[in-house]
Amino acid sequence: MSDPQGQVSDLPVEEAPLNRSSSAAGFLPDTSQYFEAWLENLKPSLETNKSHSQPEAVAHAPTADAFTSGEFRFEGTLRVDGYAAGFLRSLTGTLIVGESGEAECDMIVATAIIDGCVRGNIHASERVEIGSHARVFGKIESPALAIAPGAFFEGESHFPPSAYQGG
């Protein structure tokens, strides 16, 4: 080591703990066996997910019975910019289907903002907004519905009786 004037001192220098081998210092235990066991436990679930994640099988199936996805519950805001299938549910949340998003599912939400493709029924307790790039196929039940110019909507829309009574 050198002092502030640049002179080399004769003080003994200890090796830093990070430079020592972990087995010699007892500083860091070898965790590779735990990692390997964890990885082995994951393999069956990864193989199961690979067999169920074939979007081609769902894309060609015209009936709702073909969907094996379950119910997906969320809070806050959920944005879908990919593919979603099954059942989406949030009593207080907002669902946004982006322009590149595609949802083949029924949904119960507070607010739905659609600018992608939705095939399924939408039940919204507050409002549904269908953007100019949207394609919606199904029934909509909501006290408020906005459809932008350029949007495509094929289905039925229903307003709950409470909407007629002012709240």
Report whether pLDDT(58) > 60. no
Report whether pLDDT(125) > 90. yes
* Higher pLDDT among residues 55 and 140, named by residue: 140
Find all residues with CB under 8 Å of 124, minimum gap 6, and list them. Answer: 108, 109, 110, 111, 112, 140, 141, 142
Report whether pLDDT(160) > 70. yes
Tell the burial category of 98 from Cβ atoms under 10 Å away from its Cβ (0-12, 13-18, 19+).
Answer: middle
**Quick check: pTM over 0.85?**
no
Report whether 73 contacts 56 (CB < 8 A): no
Highest mean pLDDT among 21-25, 155-159, 161-165: 155-159
Report whether pLDDT(13) > 90. no
User: Across the chain, what does the average pLDDT equal?
Assistant: 75
For 14-50, the pLDDT digits (tens) are: 544 444 444 444 556 676 776 677 667 766 544 544 4
Average pLDDT over residues 110-125: 96
